[in-house]
Amino acid sequence: MKQVAVIGAGTMGNGIAHTFAQAGFKVQLIDINEILLKNGLDNIAKNLDRMISKEKILEVDKLNTLANIKPFTDLKLGVTNADLVVEAATENSDLKLNIFKQLDEFCSNEAILATNTSSISITQIAGVTSRPDKVIGMHFMNPVPIMQLVEVIRGYSTSNHVTNTIMELSKTLGKIPVEVNDYPGFVANRILMPMLNESIETLYNGVAGVEEIDTVMKLGMAHPMGPLQLADFIGLDVCLSILKVMYDGFKNPKYAPCPLLINMVRAGKLGVKSGEGFYDYSESKKAEKVSSQFLK
């Protein structure tokens, strides 16, 4: 396996491309948005510079990594010769299903099709292809170049050969793969998202403020980051999407997203990516609490 195509140049996509390229793979990074594609490549370069400053890699490693990445805005051209495709588009089931229909048409018959989805059914995605045995989940954690875990999710028809191939491949990236089964949210988000949602409910019900909730969890539970700040970093829109998938999949009210989360997403307060969520990330007010308007 030499050629890897990564679809989506956002936070997860450029992190996945960075990780494969640094491990010596030839990577075709694909995004239909030229601006996002350029920003993704710029972010990879910045992250490599950060690693150089921390003496984790040398300048030559940066140059080799960047040389291994080739950008594409055309999906068909970007995936034609790929041995493995990792889809890292927005967490939207309709979008992912459409992408996989095209991948099934454009990719070689031997290519493995992986998705970085954090909650959507691998079996459902595989069902729109003619190769469900070659469709699998590779759920990387953010930031991808640093976090060691990869959730490897088997769909109903995923073959043992493909699962073993992806498990071994993850190890060559310096990751620790964990095989899990195909249920909404898998393991990571099935446990994480209800905790984040309950933290938002705690704020919504006026039990405590943003900083107080995060402080309790950091000091009392030894979490490196409070749940509300973590939700901001994940993206409140992403949290909402995952909770909706879990609620639809299990029909259990404990996964129903908090009204405060819904209203904040409607208002465009998505966290770090929009400059404001539970905290204010603008240059003048970094890490300040948001206005109490959303609690009314």
Q: Is 151 a catalytic residue?
A: yes
12 is in an annotated binding site: yes
47 is in an annotated binding site: no
10 is in an annotated binding site: yes
Q: Which of 139, 197, 199, 241 is catalytic?
A: 139
235 is in an annotated binding site: no
96 is in an annotated binding site: yes
8 is in an annotated binding site: yes
Q: Is 18 a catalytic residue?
A: no
Q: Is 139 a catalytic residue?
A: yes
Q: Which of 18, 43, 116, 151 is catalytic?
A: 151
Q: Is 205 a catalytic residue?
A: no
31 is in an annotated binding site: yes
33 is in an annotated binding site: no
Q: Which of 14, 47, 118, 119 is catalytic?
A: 118
| 107, 86 contact by CB (below 8 A) | no
Q: Which of 68, 170, 189, 197 is catalytic?
A: 189
Which residues belong to the annotated binding site? 8-13, 31, 91, 96, 118, 142, 273
Q: Which residues are catalytic?
A: 118, 139, 151, 189
Which residues belong to the annotated binding site for NAD(+)? 8-13, 31, 91, 96, 118, 142, 273
